[in-house]
Every structure is written in C-alpha cells, then in structure tokens.
Amino acid sequence: MASNKTPLISVRNLSLRFGAFLALHDVSVDFHDGELVGLVGDNGAGKTTLINVICGIHRPTHGAVFFEGREITHFHPKLAIELGIETIQQSVGLCENLSVARNFYLGSEPVKRFLGIPFLDFAKMRADSGEVIRDFGLRSNVNVDDAVGLLSGGERQSIKIGRSVALKNRVVIMDEPTNHLSVREREHVNMLAKQLRDQGLLVIFITHDIFQVHRLADRIVIMENGRKVADVTKTEMTADQLEAVIRDGGHGAGAGAAR
Amino acid sequence: MSVTQFVFFRIGGSRPSPAVGIVALTALLVVAFGVQTAGVWLSKDNMTSVLQATATLGIMALGEALVITAREIDISVGSVFGIGSLVYLGFAPIAGPLAAFAGAIFAGAAIGALNGLLVTRFKVSALIATLGTLFIFRGICYALTEGFSFEAGDALMTSRVYTVFGGGEILGVKNSLLWLVLAAFALHVVMFGTPFGNWLLAVGGDEQSALSRGVRTKAVKLVAFVLSGALAAFAGVLEASKIGFADGSFGRLQELQAIAACVIGGCALTGGRCSIVGVVFATFMLMGIQSFLVLNGVEPQWFMILLGVMIVVAMVTDRAIHRWILLR
C-alpha cells in the first residue's frame, strides 16, 4: 500500500456536531489515489456525514481535511467538484423537474458564447447524457429530454453513476450505489468502481453490506457511532471477522486489528 | 442553435409547455369579450388601455416569476413599484432624468437585495421578509408624498429619458409595451437557454440536489430577488411616465395581481417550473377581464373577488393537469 506517499485526501481528528448531537467523533483516515476503499457501518454510523464533509456540504466543528497535503479552508460542494471530487449521493443529485440532459452537467454546464453571453450547449448536453443512457442499457424509450421525475430509481442511479464516470474526476464517492439496482445493474456498478480504481482514481464505496464490499474493495474502514472502529486491508481480516466487528459495535473480537 | 430550439427550449420532457393552456384561454376570452361588448372591448381605445396596463403589470410579474421559479415569493413588489416611481419623479428635478432613472432602478435592486439577504442569509421565510418590506416601503411612499403626489415637471417630460422609458408611443400605445416584449424575450432566453436559468429551475425544483452539484443556491436566489426588485421599480418608472405623476398609493395591491399572473400563467408556486410567455398572456388576460368588468358597469371590488377565485382555481387545476400529464 502506498502509505508513504502523500494521501490524496487526509482527514485529521475530525469532529462534527449538530447542536447537541455529536455526529463524528475524532475521526482520522487517509485515502490514496488508485485505491478502492469500502466505508462500512450500520445506519447512523456516520458514513454519510463523513462523506458530506469531504464533498463540501458540512463544515467540520473540529479537525481538518487535507487534499494532496493542502488544508481545505472553505467547504462548499462547488469547491469539492472543482478539486475533482464527485459524489454519488443516495437522496440528492438529480432534479426531478429537469430533463436528463439538463441534469447531466448541472452546475458546470457546457456553453457556447454568442455576443459574450453564455448559452447552454444543448447539443453536447444531449449527446453526452445520451451516451450514458445507452451504455447503461436504460429502457430504449428513455429520452435525454425526459424529466428525471419520469425515471425509475434504478435508472436515476445509473445516470448519477454514468455522470460521475463521464466527467473527469480524481475521486468518486459512491453512497450506497447499488440500492434500487437489479442484479445485472449491480454487477455493472461494481465493475465500474474497479475500472475507475484501475484508472488511478480514488473510489470510496459506502455500503452496509460487508460481504459485497469485501469482494470489491482494497481496504475497508468501519464506522460506528461517529467513530472509526476499524481500518484494514482486506487481506488482514475476512468478511466474517469484519462482520463481527460491526455486530459488536467495534468492541468485539476483531477490533484489535484496528490501526 | 436552430430557431425552433431557440424558441421551444425544453426543460423536461416532450409534454406541452404550460403556456399552451393560458394562450388558448386568452384567445377564447378575446372572442367572448369582443362579442359580448359588441366590439367595444376590442376597440382601439380600450385595447390601448388594456395593453398599457398589461405592460407595467407584466414587467412586475416577470420579476415575480423569477422568484417563484426559485421556490420563493416576493410580495414587496407593489411597494417597490411605488418607490421606483417616486425616486424617479422626485430626483429628476434635482439630479436630471437619467440619474433619476438609474437611481430608481438601483433603489428597486437594493430592496430586492435586502429581501434576498433576509431570505438566504438570515433564513427568514420569504413570505414574512417581503411582507415586512412591503409595509416598510409602502410606509415610506406615504411618508414621502404626505398625501400629495409627485409630478413630472416640464424638464422631465421633454427629456429623451422620459420619452424612451414609457412617455413615448408606438402605434398609439405607450412604448412600455415594447419594454415588456423586450423583457419577456430576454428573460425567456435567460431562463431556458443559459446556465443561470438552469440553476434557477434546479434550485426551485430540488435545492439540495442543485447544491450537491455545486450550484451556488443562495447566490441564485439573491439574483432572482434583485432582478424582481429592479423590474418592479422599472415598471413603476414606466407607469409614472405614462400618467405623469405618482402618489403614495402607487402600485398598492399590484403585488397580488403580479402573483396571480404568475400562477395563472403556469409558474408552479412549488418552484422549478415557469413560463415567461404564459405570465405575459395571463397578465393580458387579467387586465382584459378587469376592463371587461368596467365596460359592463361591474363594481371594481368584483375584480378582486374574481382575482382571488382565479388564483385558487388555477392552483387546483394546475396540480390536476400536471398529474394528468405525468401519468399519461
């Protein structure tokens, strides 16, 4: 493992408080490029909250986040996207009232200038989003001009994932990416995650299915009650041992292996 | 970009534009009103007054439409309209017509910025924030005029600024109608053809998703409020130039008509859906109905009652029609 290299993303002693609720408690974790990391934990363990700090939605109460060794001082999704951090979230990411094409580049639309005024480049928006619809084998009657509200959960997920692959990124974070997906679609997503890793990207894969992610990931980070309770390469522990860690809330048999 | 693409921007789906219904309804009413009044409603004099009223209310309604598209509301526009006209008429003798015009637009934009900051930074609900500014600036209008009215002096009335912004006529109609057409064209293109329009629709449709894609949602809302304020003040200037004076009650209750025009014109109060063309036609329809009632000797309060009924009916049928389109 490339642990002697500067990590792409380094989270140091991160705490996040929502009023009286401590959502993250002193979390430190490093992520390197070319790595596929599984972030695992029960519902409410703090996985999504940690990701929301990295992708700029939440500002940490204490601690710091470094990107390529530089400390992040301003937290906004726009800045994270500019650094090449693409996040596929469960509940957000697509506006139902807008077409697939309009959603595809939302926030960083391609433009053609006329008299200095930036006009949306509809041809590019349609072509690029249409490619994703074909690649992911969506129903043939799904059109790039259809409102996202008309699509099924799986189709929406496919578009979010396809978009993250199509845009040039350095980090792709997938929050429960295979929910709502059929078996075939799930295999496709797993394959894409590996492909992105092989292209040298950092891929963070959030799930609560330890068996799925143990097959897929190079390294597994387990969270529980806002703390990191394990951080192991997959050769260090079996999926069954890791499951025991989760079941025991981080205090069980395998916790000794936590770094 | 081809011509058809330019005119028929699609925001989602091949479903009909929300403007189709209102355009058809307007056409129907034009015929019905024309027939019922034996052509008087369609006479040049009456059409001139209807179109002139449409122009100023329409410009205000277009600004309102931007805010509603972002899933907020601006009920201060009636007072901003008054402030715009008073700043324009009040400053013209002191600072000259052009500076007075610029000052009026700036005042409107500044009130819009205040509304926008209250909503985005201080997290006040838009309804409450703009209700506050509605009262504050109406009060200032009354305080400034002290029961009298500001009149356009000879120097202003003979100036080019006055002629260009609402004083002059084209084919017998005050040129404020041309300004409405220009504003509608510009806003239609901005709304459906530019990144800013895409952000506005996205913020209104699903603010969290827009934010997660890196849209600066607060800035987008702020700009919508600023444009709404500037357009309301501009409408006030045009109205002042049309009739040559303004008093403290200038634009009072017009905010409700502007909101009604948006709702009837196909803007969803829940945000994310808008029709600039629909708003313009709905404004014309409202002003046409008002004039129709006047021609028939109906008391003006009936227009208010009808306005309220139309808003409610528009909201109910809009939801039903929208559902029908989605489930088709």
**Each residue's pLDDT tens digit, A197-234:** 998 999 999 988 888 889 999 999 999 999 999 999 98
Contact call for residues A85 and A54 (beta carbons, < 8 A): yes
Tokens of A124: 């590019």
**Could you tell me the pLDDT band of residue A191, with boundaries at 50, 70 and 90?**
confident
Q: Concatenate the DSSP letters of all residues of A117-178 into one string.
A: EEEE-HHHHHHHHHHHHHHTT--TT--TTSBGGGS-HHHHHHHHHHHHHHS--SEEEEESTT
- Looking at the complex, report in whole angstroms how far the Cα of residue B73 sits from the nearest Cα belonging to chain A: 19
pLDDT of residue B326: 55
Find the farthest-apart pair of alpha carbons in chain A and give their distance in angstroms, rounded.
Answer: 68
Q: What is chain B's length?
A: 328
pLDDT of residue B11: 61
Q: Evaluate whether residue B210 is within a structural domain.
A: yes
Given a cut of 90, whether residue A119 has pLDDT beyond it is yes
CA distance A49 to A87: 13
Tokens of A241: 């041992």
pTM of the model: 0.89
- Looking at the complex, report in whole angstroms how far the Cα of residue A191 sits from the nearest Cα belonging to chain B: 24
Given a cut of 50, whether residue A67 has pLDDT beyond it is yes
Q: Evaluate whether residue B241 is within a structural domain.
A: yes
Taking the Cβ of residue A55 and every Cβ of chain B, the question of whether any pair is shorter than 8 Å is answered with yes
CA distance A139 to A96: 18
Contact call for residues A76 and A253 (beta carbons, < 8 A): no
Output the 3-class SS for chain B.
Answer: CCHHHHHCCCCCCCCCCCHHHHHHHHHHHHHHHHHHCCCCCCCHHHHHHHHHHHHHHHHHHHHHHHHHHCCCCCCCHHHHHHHHHHHHHHHHHHHCHHHHHHHHHHHHHHHHHHHHHHHHCCCCCHHHHHHHHHHHHHHHHHHHHCCCEEECCHHHHCCHHHHHHHHCEECCEECHHHHHHHHHHHHHHHHHHCHHHHHHHHHHHCHHHHHHCCCCHHHHHHHHHHHHHHHHHHHHHHHHHHHCEEECCCCCCHHHHHHHHHHHCCCCCCCCCCCHHHHHHHHHHHHHHHHHHHHCCCCCHHHHHHHHHHHHHHHHHHHHHHHHHHHC
What is the distance, to the nearest Å, from the Cα of residue A118 to the centroid of all Cα atoms in its chain? 31
Taking the Cβ of residue B11 and every Cβ of chain A, the question of whether any pair is shorter than 8 Å is answered with yes
Given a cut of 60, whether residue A257 has pLDDT beyond it is no
CA distance A151 to B200: 22
Tokens of A201: 């990207």
CA distance B105 to B233: 6
The pLDDT tens digits of the residues spanning B19-56 come to 777 888 899 999 999 999 999 999 999 999 999 999 99
Ranges of residues in chain B with a pLDDT under 50 are: 1-7, 14, 328
The residues that bridge with A16 in the sheet, in sequence order, are A24
Q: Report A:124-163 residues touching B (Cβ under 8 A).
A: 143, 145-150
Q: Evaluate whether residue B66 is within a structural domain.
A: yes
CA distance B133 to B141: 12
Residue of A48, A58, A102 to mutate, interface with B, max B Cβ within 10 Å? A102
The CATH class given to the A1-84+169-259 domain equals alpha beta
- Tell me A7's DSSP state: P
For A50, the 3-state DSSP assignment is helix
pLDDT of residue B88: 96
Contact call for residues B59 and B183 (beta carbons, < 8 A): yes
pLDDT of residue A186: 85
* Closest chain B CA to residue A122: B1
The set of residues, in sequence order, having a beta carbon less than 8 Å from that of B48 and lying 6+ positions away, is: B172, B173
Tokens of A131: 């490619």
The pLDDT tens digits of the residues spanning A2-46 come to 456 789 999 999 999 998 899 999 999 999 999 999 999 888 889
Contact call for residues A119 and A113 (beta carbons, < 8 A): yes
- Looking at the complex, report in whole angstroms how far the Cα of residue A254 sits from the nearest Cα belonging to chain B: 36
The amino acid present at B290, given as its one-letter code, is Q
Residue numbers in B near A76 (CB within 8 A): 214, 216
CA distance B245 to B145: 11
pLDDT of residue A158: 84
Contact call for residues B81 and B251 (beta carbons, < 8 A): yes
Cβ atoms < 10 Å from Cβ of A49: 19
Nearest to B201 by CA among A110, A129, A99, A160: A99
Domain positions in chain A: 1-84+169-259, 96-168
State the sign of the Cα–Cα–Cα–Cα dihedral B39, B43, B20, B62. Answer: negative
Rg, chain B, Cα only: 19
Task: Provide the CB-side half-sphere exposure for B85 (13 A, CA).
Answer: 34
The pLDDT tens digits of the residues spanning A71-107 come to 999 999 999 999 999 999 888 899 999 999 999 999 9
Contact call for residues B303 and B290 (beta carbons, < 8 A): yes
B5 — phi, psi (to 5°)? -65, -35
- Burial annotation A114-126 (CB, 10 A radius, 16+ → b, else e): eeeeebbbbebbb
CA distance B71 to B73: 7
Taking the Cβ of residue A77 and every Cβ of chain B, the question of whether any pair is shorter than 8 Å is answered with yes
| ipTM of the complex in this document | 0.86
pLDDT of residue A254: 43
Q: Over chain A, what is the mean pLDDT? A: 87
Residue A15: in which H helix or E strand, if any?
strand A9-18
pLDDT of residue A43: 82
Contact call for residues B145 and B25 (beta carbons, < 8 A): no
The pLDDT tens digits of the residues spanning A56-65 come to 999 999 999 9
| Pick from B198, B206, B210: CB nearest A109 | B198
Given a cut of 70, whether residue A151 has pLDDT beyond it is yes
Asked if A145 lies within 8 A of B216 by C-beta distance, the reply is: no
- Looking at the complex, report in whole angstroms how far the Cα of residue B327 sits from the nearest Cα belonging to chain A: 9
pLDDT of residue A134: 82
Tokens of B207: 């603010």
Residue A65's alpha-carbon distances to A50, A51, A73, B70, in angstroms, are 11, 11, 8, 33
The CATH number assigned to the domain holding B117 equals 1.10.3470
Q: What is chain A's length?
A: 259
Asked if B195 lies within 8 A of A120 by C-beta distance, the reply is: yes
CA distance A11 to A225: 17
What is the distance, to the nearest Å, from the Cα of residue B306 to the centroid of all Cα atoms in its chain? 19
> Tokens 């939605």 label which residue?
A57
Residue B57's alpha-carbon distances to A109, A225, B54, B179, B218, in angstroms, are 33, 56, 5, 12, 27
Cβ atoms < 10 Å from Cβ of B316: 10
pLDDT of residue B3: 39
Taking the Cβ of residue B327 and every Cβ of chain A, the question of whether any pair is shorter than 8 Å is answered with no
Taking the Cβ of residue B323 and every Cβ of chain A, the question of whether any pair is shorter than 8 Å is answered with no
Residue numbers in B near A102 (CB within 8 A): 11-12, 198, 201-202
The residues that bridge with A85 in the sheet, in sequence order, are A171
Domain hosting B52: range is: 16-327
Structural domains of chain B, count: 1
pLDDT of residue B4: 42
